[in-house]
Amino acid sequence: MIRAILFDLDETLILDHPVSVHTLWNCAYYAASWYSLDLEALVEAAGNQAMRLWKTSPVYGYTQRIGHSAGEGLWARYADTKIPEIARLHEWAKSYRVAVWRDALAEQGIADEALCEALADRFFNERRVYPRYPEVDALLEALSPHYKLGIVTNGVPDLQQDKLEGCGLLHRFQAAVISGTVNIGKPERGIFEHICKELEVEPEACVMVGDNPERDVAGALGAGMRSVLVNRGFKDPDPRYRASLEVRNLLEMLPWLDTLA
């Protein structure tokens, strides 16, 4: 019998990548108010430079382990400086953000340090919006009378907490586990055991819902849980990790859950 439904956060309950791309475009338009630019090329270059420079982070291995991305590094506050790795990111992040724009603009022959700093600050401040996918409220309303609800999300603590509070969903869940807080990231079994302990349920009584085959589906399989893959079109399904169910809209999982009652 299923007693708990566990959710990933980014691209499962809230939009993430589309919002970051939109913010990059806003920054590009700002840069174009100063110089004649190929905006599409600048947006693409900023994304590529972020991924390249992210690998030079002093704690890159840590970011991979907890599932914290290059794009998130452009706007995370890194407030939890009692965690040594977070403290190092806090010291390094400003130079990283400026370097992303410096190298992206350099591809179009532009060198303007003041503009690079302005673009880094603009992205850092403007990215803080957390829109929910349209079906999320109806889904949680349908599930909450019948199941315990939990969040299992990868990332640094302050950023994921900001997202949870900013999207207005935190009160809907009985527990939320962030990889950077427990120092274990999906797909490691330990983070799933952690949420099960908080919700007082066994893994086999849980369904994990997420958009990432390698982290959400594989992690659920390793923990002995059923899984639902939410295909938002950003990641291809992975034949190595077959979910119990694949959906494009979260509401599609409700009839399937009824069969497990």
CATH number at residue 239: 3.40.50.1000
Residues 53 and 114 in one domain: yes
Kindly report the pTM of this predicted structure: 0.95
What percent of the chain is predicted at pLDDT more than 70? 100
What percent of the chain is predicted at pLDDT more than 90? 97
Which residues have a Cβ under 8 Å from the Cβ of 135 and sit 6 or more positions away? 249, 250, 251
Please say which residue of 63, 95, 126 terminates a domain.
126
pLDDT digits (tens, 9 = 90+) for 142-193: 999 999 999 999 999 999 999 999 999 999 999 999 999 999 999 999 999 9
- Asked if the model's pLDDT at residue 255 lies above 80, the reply is yes
Residues 249 and 150 in one domain: yes
Average pLDDT over residues 24-51: 98
Residues 232 and 136 in one domain: yes
Average pLDDT over residues 2-20: 98
pLDDT digits (tens, 9 = 90+) for 92-144: 999 999 999 999 999 999 999 999 999 999 999 999 999 999 999 999 999 99
pLDDT for 238 equals 84
- Asked if the model's pLDDT at residue 261 lies above 80, the reply is no
Residues 254 and 139 in one domain: yes
* Angle value at C-alpha 167, between 163 and 169, nearest 5 degrees: 105
- The answer to whether 37 and 118 are in contact (CB under 8 A) is no
- Per-residue tokens: 127: 């990215």
User: What is the overall mean pLDDT for the chain?
Assistant: 97
Please say which residue of 126, 144, 176 terminates a domain.
126
pLDDT for 225 equals 98
Q: Which structural domain, as residue segments, surrounds residue 91?
A: 17-126
pLDDT for 235 equals 80
What are the phi and psi torsion angles at 145 (to 5°)? -70, -15
Residues 31 and 155 in one domain: no
Q: Which residue has the tokens 């949420």?
A: 195
Q: How confident is the model at residue 37 (pLDDT cuts 50, 70, 90)?
A: very high
Which residues have a Cβ under 8 Å from the Cβ of 78 and sit 6 or more positions away? 86, 87, 89, 90, 93, 156, 158
Number of domains comprising the chain? 2
Residues 229 and 193 in one domain: yes
